[in-house]
Structure 1
Amino acid sequence: MNYDQFGGLTGTDLQGFHQGGDTELWKRLGSFVATVDGEDGPISGVRFAVWAPNAQQVQVTGDFNGWDAHDLALIPGTGVWGGFVPGAGEDALYKFRVRGVDGAWREKVDPMARFSEQAPTNASIVYESKYVWSDDEWIARREKSRAHAEPMSVYELHLGGWRPGKSYLQLADELVEYITWQGYTHVELMPVAEHPYAPSWGYQVTGYFSPTSRFGKPDDFRYLVDRLHQAGIGVILDWVPGHFPKDDWALGRFDGTALYEHADPRQGEHRDWGTYIFNYGRNEVKSFLVSNALYWINEFHIDGLRVDAVASMLYLDYSREEGEWVPNEYGGRENLEAIDFLRWVNLHLYERHPGVLMIAEESTSFPGVTKPVHEGGLGFGFKWNMGWMNDSLRYLELDPVYRQYEHNLITFAMVYAYSENFILPISHDEVVHGKGSMMQKVPQDDWRKFATLRAFYSFMWSFPGKQLIFMGSEFGSRPEFNEATGLEWWVSDLWGHRGLQQLFRDLNALYRANAPLFELDNSPEGFTWIRGDDAERNTLSWVRHDEAGNHVACITNFSPEPLTDLPIGLPEAGVWEEILNTDSAVYDGSGEFGNLGQVTAREQPWGHFPAQTNVTVPPLGAVWLRRQAGPATP
């Protein structure tokens, strides 16, 4: 039987891959249902293609041939082995058998597989999407968005731990309903790419192009994203280009050599994590990774990628002692190849999809993370503010009597607030591995724990920058995160927990309705201190502004003592509406300390303000006051 053994794939098709410029590699490598011309007419089957340049022989084996061997042929000059298998079809299970330069056979899953078996099995699965999207309106709006000047409150979650046992299709109902009720603008999903070890939470990826089959098929995941979009909710996905696991059936030593990774362990291994590091200087690896980033956005309509562990990519000496790393060509510690790769992926994605969000989890002071590439930066849109997170949580954990001595912890972030475009993260990393839940971090009894958390989150939602919290924080989950048991949803009906959950709903609604809280996040013109030095009373106060001249004054009291008749300055005289009081009974507060719905500022200079008034601020509580240029909105 004569037919095109490569199913139409040619060396010309692979030139961009070898030059590092092919950013749609999933259209060329992997498995594809195809029809080729035979002597007696069309022949249906599957075309397979895999990169293994140093292999002596490559075979494909699967349930279509009784797991026997079907030899693939080397496409001349490409390092890619390909073949067409008649009679194979969609949903077929398969693996590659690769005989390396050492003569040893290795059974490998397809690096480009678009669907995979659920662990502990790991075969790749031939899959063709048939999904028809219904989010055109969302995508059109996203392309015209101005993310930095728009509200962004992100709910981070682990799909398997949010409500264990739920499928993508079930989550499309339950998650959409919950996020809509709570009012977050985005969800951020911890990695959904296929991974064998559940406690890794998806951060050790073996199937970069394959949504995990734990919750259903790839088109089921598309449906979840589509439903979120139709509800007006953006979807950010955690992406892990910094390292990959050493499972012998996955990417590592794929053709018997260090193909995707560096051969030198001083460059190619993360000892802390027991993983390999990608070789960012290799064109084919760059093509693989940039294609993967674009794949999630093109094929699954993902709205943004949060790039995990960027610091580990930027520094050659990351978590290494002297003599355990290889300097760059200039003798420095910066990983120049990784920096070039990050710039390339950011440039390409923003060019292909205006409005997409590229977010760096970067824990150092590396300059210009969110600066444009043409200005010498890395080109990310946002950076997680890890300094704010660390300082704020240290302050939160102090007994109130000691907070006055560490006041700078809660104010220092304003010193560098405009150096990058920040997201304020209280993420999964802060409630695992013995760190304790947010409830456990706060000292003293439950009344003070809940009051302090309500004050803290209102402080966070009014601080310059976008916001992110991890699932369960919104109702005061007491245990640390455990992906195997999920969240204790039953407590959300109890005193304190329910009030906190209601506060988050109102915070999100107020945040989205009041432009001063988000429009000028990245400009000093959007923020004015009332008092940042009131350490003795553990109190912070500021005014947020928008371009139209509206104002929201935010006063937070981290002391257990109420503040009555606290004098503050304000930018305008007149009536200021009290739009938030975290001590309200609806939040399970005492309901005893407030301002009867409003305060009136009189024209009398106070500090650098032309007007002043007196406010009551509850113990371990916060008050927001609004002054609008036009008619007030509810």
Structure 2
Amino acid sequence: MTRARAKTAALPVDAEQLDAIAAGRHRDPHGVLGAHPHAGSVTVRTLRPLADSVAVEHADGVVALQHERAGIWAGVVAQPEVSDYRLLVRYQGGVDRRVDDPYRYLPTLGDMDLHLINEGRHERLWDVLGAHVRSYASTAGVVAGTSFAVWAPNARGVRLVGDFNHWDGQSHPMRSLGSSGVWELFVPEIGASTMYKYAVLGADEEWRTKADPMATHTQCPPETASVVYDSGYDWSDQEWLDRRAAGSPQTAPVSVYEVHLGSWRKDRGYRDLADDLVAYVADLGFTHVEMLPVAEHPYGGSWGYQVTGYFAPTARFGTPDDFRYLVDRLHQAGIGVILDWVPAHFPKDDFALARFDGTPLYEHGDPRRGEQRDWGTYVFDFGRSEVRNFLVANALYWLEEFHIDALRVDAVASMLYLDYSREDGEWAPNQYGGRENLEAVAFLQEVNATCAKRTPGATLIAEESTSWPGVTRPTHLGGLGFGFKWNMGWMHDSLGYVAHDP
């Protein structure tokens, strides 16, 4: 097909904007790249560094683009609109590659999503942030791809990097969606199993390569990339869920078998455990299994309490659907599932949440509140609405997406007291001069009330070892709203007793 050269000048864009796009620091690359009507024609721009030639293929022909500046190509299609098009890109010594253009697509988050994120009230946050396989109808056929969205409000720019672009994000800058702090990009022609991260230009002008905080799957540690995942699991535990919703966990018998999946039996994946663990626990007569943290964490030799992937079951034992299968099989055997959950603190690993956009974002900015020195970790900023939303949505995610029956909330005492494990001068009192962490109290009340509303019969359990009043009192009566308090004293006393020589 003959390539026509445009006779009309392209929609003008100043060099400063083009340079900002090429440098990854433009907040709205879609406002320049892609197709834009102009003077009765359509200007098409694309960022294709290192290309030898680029052309636009549309319904009525092919138009050659000219290199404009810094890897950006531009040209004009001489018709008032272009409803669909593809790019023909040729690199040195190669042939034309026919590819779709990420910058011709509208945002995948709507105004209501952005409003709820701003308010800290998006209860299904995992549906809009993170990576999601999507498909759209077009005149050239069905378009399949993956949308990516990440919250980084203080970033100067965000690029998407992955195995699909050789981990070089120059050609995939993301757009900022208003005042929400969310950066977004839909990339056609990539799907499940794609490995990716975000290259974040921080407020301090440093680039950081970060795993997706909302990733639902990851590489197997010690590798740290996020992985696009599209669940196809079909549950078979509706009878269990119906019984759970109709009953009350406080009036049912409970005997708990605690297990660390990585050391219970070596070299067992989630599906192996669905046979071995289910049979073992059923034979012993326990009503519930309590799993030490399953969320992704970097050190396999640990118990999993330093979480780096809050929405991803660890890949050490299989895929997210493999973990769903384990839970499903336990439910079918009449065994409930309790999962340890760690909203109190997170590790300082560079690839994860820490200083995500060059600022204290998920963590509190004041080290007297933002660091837990005993564990060498950061403490979540419970007073920030988006951070509370992240954690509340995470609790709901495990309860709704994996049918977990209860979350055992770790280290609640460290959340409740501002002076927890701190000497005088190492902590700052609340607005009333007290040592209670009022923001953490409000978060715990919110997560308990929200989970009770959305997941009938499920509950949260407080691992809380102090005399804090009202741990299990309902939130509408001023309590924290937990279903149970984990009896730490009984456990330690019992272990001490059986350790004595008879």
- TM-score (ref. length: structure 1): 0.62
Question: Which residue is equivalent to 2:441?
Answer: 339
Deviation at 1:390, TM superposition (A): 3.7
Question: Which residue is equivalent to 1:84?
Answer: 186
Question: Which residue is equivalent to 1:215?
Answer: 317
Does structure 2 retain, via aligned residues, the 8 Å contact 1:238–1:306? yes
Deviation at 1:388, TM superposition (A): 2.8
Separation (CA, whole Å) in 2 of partners of 1:157 and 1:4: 49
Does structure 2 retain, via aligned residues, the 8 Å contact 1:113–1:125? yes
Deviations 1:57-89 (A, max 9, x none): 101111112222111111122111000111111
Question: Which residue is equivalent to 1:388?
Answer: 490
Question: Which residue is equivalent to 2:150?
Answer: 50
5 Å-filtered alignment, 1:566-585, equals none
Is 1:19 the counterpart of 2:77 in the alignment?
no
Deviation at 1:29, TM superposition (A): 0.2
Give the residue type in structure 1 aligned to 2:407: L
Deviation at 1:43, TM superposition (A): 2.0
Is 1:442 the counterpart of 2:500 in the alignment?
yes
Partner SS state of residue 148, structure 1: coil
Question: Which residue is equivalent to 1:35?
Answer: 135
Separation (CA, whole Å) in 2 of partners of 1:392 and 1:177: 27
Does structure 2 retain, via aligned residues, the 8 Å contact 1:64–1:87? no
Is 1:241 the counterpart of 2:349 in the alignment?
no
5 Å-filtered alignment, 1:482-501, equals none
Separation (CA, whole Å) in 2 of partners of 1:125 and 1:14: 24
Deviation at 1:292, TM superposition (A): 0.3
Of the three residues 150, 157, 173, the one matched with 1:71 is 173
Deviation at 1:392, TM superposition (A): 4.3
Is 1:161 the counterpart of 2:161 in the alignment?
no
Does structure 2 retain, via aligned residues, the 8 Å contact 1:280–1:341? yes
Of the three residues 289, 295, 300, the one matched with 1:193 is 295
Partner SS state of residue 147, structure 1: coil
Gap change, CA 1:305 and 1:124, over 3 Å in 2: same
Partner SS state of residue 274, structure 2: helix
Give the residue type in structure 2 aligned to 1:229: H
Deviations 1:507-533 (A, max 9, x none): xxxxxxxxxxxxxxxxxxxxxxxxxxx
Separation (CA, whole Å) in 2 of partners of 1:163 and 1:139: 29
**Rg larger for:** 1
Deviation at 1:326, TM superposition (A): 1.1
- Paired residues, what number? 400
Separation (CA, whole Å) in 2 of partners of 1:281 and 1:55: 21
Deviation at 1:20, TM superposition (A): 1.4
Of the three residues 348, 359, 370, the one matched with 2:472 is 370
Runs (5+) with no aligned partner, structure 2: 1-84, 86-100
Deviations 1:303-339 (A, max 9, x none): 0100000000000010000111111110000000000
5 Å-filtered alignment, 1:178-327, equals 178-327=280-429
Of the three residues 458, 477, 481, the one matched with 1:356 is 458
Is 1:131 the counterpart of 2:233 in the alignment?
yes
5 Å-filtered alignment, 1:423-442, equals 441-442=499-500
Deviations 1:467-519 (A, max 9, x none): xxxxxxxxxxxxxxxxxxxxxxxxxxxxxxxxxxxxxxxxxxxxxxxxxxxxx
Deviations 1:546-568 (A, max 9, x none): xxxxxxxxxxxxxxxxxxxxxxx
Deviation at 1:10, TM superposition (A): 2.9
Separation (CA, whole Å) in 2 of partners of 1:134 and 1:393: 38
Separation (CA, whole Å) in 2 of partners of 1:385 and 1:100: 44
Separation (CA, whole Å) in 1 of partners of 2:494 and 2:193: 50
5 Å-filtered alignment, 1:510-521, equals none
Deviations 1:31-55 (A, max 9, x none): 0111245563432111000001111
Separation (CA, whole Å) in 2 of partners of 1:272 and 1:147: 34
Give the residue type in structure 1 aligned to 2:164: F
Deviation at 1:90, TM superposition (A): 0.7
Does structure 2 retain, via aligned residues, the 8 Å contact 1:4–1:37? no
Q: Which moved more, 1:251-260 or 1:196-205?
A: 196-205
Partner SS state of residue 142, structure 2: strand
Deviation at 1:11, TM superposition (A): 3.8
Deviation at 1:21, TM superposition (A): 1.1
Q: Which moved more, 1:213-222 or 1:65-74?
A: 65-74
Separation (CA, whole Å) in 2 of partners of 1:145 and 1:166: 33
5 Å-filtered alignment, 1:113-128, equals 113-128=215-230
Does structure 2 retain, via aligned residues, the 8 Å contact 1:154–1:188? yes
Is 1:149 the counterpart of 2:221 in the alignment?
no
Does structure 2 retain, via aligned residues, the 8 Å contact 1:31–1:47? yes
Does structure 2 retain, via aligned residues, the 8 Å contact 1:6–1:83? no
Of the three residues 278, 285, 294, the one matched with 1:176 is 278
Question: Which residue is equivalent to 2:202?
Answer: 100
Deviation at 1:8, TM superposition (A): 2.5
Partner SS state of residue 479, structure 2: coil
Deviations 1:124-147 (A, max 9, x none): 000011000000000000001122
Separation (CA, whole Å) in 1 of partners of 2:212 and 2:327: 25
Percent identical residues: 61
Runs (5+) with no aligned partner, structure 1: 397-437, 449-634
Question: Which residue is equivalent to 2:44?
Answer: none
Separation (CA, whole Å) in 2 of partners of 1:234 and 1:50: 34
Partner SS state of residue 134, structure 1: coil
Partner SS state of residue 84, structure 1: strand
Separation (CA, whole Å) in 2 of partners of 1:231 and 1:41: 46
Does structure 2 retain, via aligned residues, the 8 Å contact 1:11–1:75? no
Separation (CA, whole Å) in 1 of partners of 2:330 and 2:490: 30
Q: Give me the CA root mean square deviation.
A: 1.4
Give the residue type in structure 2 aligned to 1:442: H
Separation (CA, whole Å) in 2 of partners of 1:41 and 1:229: 42
Deviations 1:576-612 (A, max 9, x none): xxxxxxxxxxxxxxxxxxxxxxxxxxxxxxxxxxxxx
Does structure 2 retain, via aligned residues, the 8 Å contact 1:7–1:34? no
Partner SS state of residue 374, structure 2: coil
Question: Which residue is equivalent to 2:81?
Answer: none
Give the residue type in structure 1 aligned to 2:298: P
Give the residue type in structure 2 aligned to 1:329: Q
Gap change, CA 1:44 and 1:57, over 3 Å in 2: same
